[in-house]
Amino acid sequence: MPETLADIGEFGLIDRLDKLLREEGARLPEDTLGIGDDCASFQSRAGYELLITCDCIVEGRHYLPRFISPMDLGRRAMVLNISDIGAMGGHTLYALVSLGLRSDTPVKDVEAIYRGFIAELNPFDAAIIGGNLTKSEGANFIDITLIGEIESGKSVRRSTAKPGNSILVTGYPGQAAAGLHMLKAIPVDDVRAHPLVQAYNTPSHRAREGEAVAKSGMATAMIDTSDGLLGDLGHICDESGVGARIIQENLPISSALREAAGLMEHEPLDFVLQDSDDYELIITCLPEDVDGICSLITSLSHIPVTEIGAITEKTHGIKLVSHDGILREITPSGWDHFAK
């Protein structure tokens, strides 16, 4: 029988995880206090502001344990938070991790989850500096608070888009939604290897791209697509007090998504516009800065960047221009944790 949390207890697990982080994680600066005291502490840099975000994922609600490995689960949980920091143009520094775990959870699974955290944090030279452990009587959960920094005055917000701005999106939105649909429609272990399922289980963040865009000063607003393309564009419109016009034929759709949508008897657009935690970036900018932003991002990662429409006056709402030129009003329907 594998060793479980009931076998080693809370403090035994803390010792294991502390050792793992020291051996495999990023080294802490001398003026940073990590695991081992009542609080963690670090010195913030003069001329920089701190960015703080948190996200919680719950077994059965945000991930399907049968179809994701513990290490991939750790990666997924950390990507959610890194993406938020990057969407404002920041650089990830430190993480606080809280876990709620059943006592029969294998210790090796928890260590693998932490290796997933480390795999995503190490490229930023970022580290876990504390957290909390608690016993769960039901679903396991992971709750992460992430701290980043950005040069003062350089953060890109969702509330500063203006009418006339162009709307850009990175990558191929909707792939994670299609992957989740595949997991539910084709519940067999082999489906885990499908690229769309991998896009759902282990999404990629665009934090480095967001940081570079913020430094360039070319973006007027930015957000990640954790709630889906339409849902998060709706957040920009709400916070900025604007509307948007999306050109349907400009929406980027991958060949994998087209093929899978056909097999599942769906339109690709169903996945592109609905809630889909892809963690791409929606960026608004002046029309004359479109080429500059596209060149900057593709020089970093070779991911596609597509101009999909423009910001309009608030009274216009959010409209989709179909292939035949007909204007259709659409309502953002991003992820809602409390929706029925």
Q: Give the per-residue pLDDT at 236.
A: 98
What percent of the chain stands above pLDDT 90?
Answer: 79
pLDDT at 333: 64
Q: What values do phi and psi take at 105, rounded to 5?
A: -65, 130
How does DSSP assign 70-129, residue by residue?
A: HHHHHHHHHHHHHHHHHHTT-EEEEEEEEEEE-TTSBHHHHHHHHHHHHHHHGGGT-EEE
The stretches of the chain forming alpha helices (DSSP H) are 5-24, 70-87, 107-121, 175-185, 195-201, 207-216, 229-240, 255-263, 268-273, 290-301
Whether residue 326 is predicted with pLDDT greater than 60 in this model: the reply is yes
Residue 335 has pLDDT above 80, yes or no: no
pLDDT bracket for residue 334 (50, 70, 90): low
Q: What is the pLDDT of residues 180-208, one digit of tens each?
A: 998 888 766 777 788 999 999 999 999 99
Least confident of 36-45, 51-60, 97-106, 213-222: 36-45
- Residues 298-322 have pLDDT tens digits of 999 989 999 999 999 999 999 999 8
Q: Is the pLDDT of residue 338 over 60?
A: no
Residue positions in the annotated binding site for Mg(2+)? Answer: 38, 53, 55, 84, 132, 224, 227
Q: Give me the long-range contacts of 105-108 (CB less than 8 A, separation at least 24).
A: 105/4, 105/5, 105/140, 106/2, 106/3, 106/4, 107/2, 107/3, 107/4, 107/5, 107/7, 107/8, 107/13, 107/16, 108/2, 108/3, 108/70
Place of tokens 């009003």: 329
Residue ranges of the annotated binding site for ATP are 114, 131-132, 158, 226
Structural domains present in the chain: 5-151 (3.30.1330.10), 166-329 (3.90.650.10)
Closest CA to 329 of 340, 318, 339: 318
54 phi, psi to nearest 5 deg: -145, 150
Using DSSP's 3-state secondary structure scheme, residue 142 falls into strand
Mean pLDDT of the chain: 93
Residue numbers belonging to the annotated binding site for substrate: 62, 277, 335
pLDDT at 183: 86
CA distance 230 to 333: 7
pLDDT digits (tens, 9 = 90+) for 206-243: 999 999 999 999 999 999 999 999 999 999 999 999 99
Residue positions forming the annotated binding site = 38, 53, 55, 62, 84, 114, 131-132, 158, 224, 226-227, 277, 335
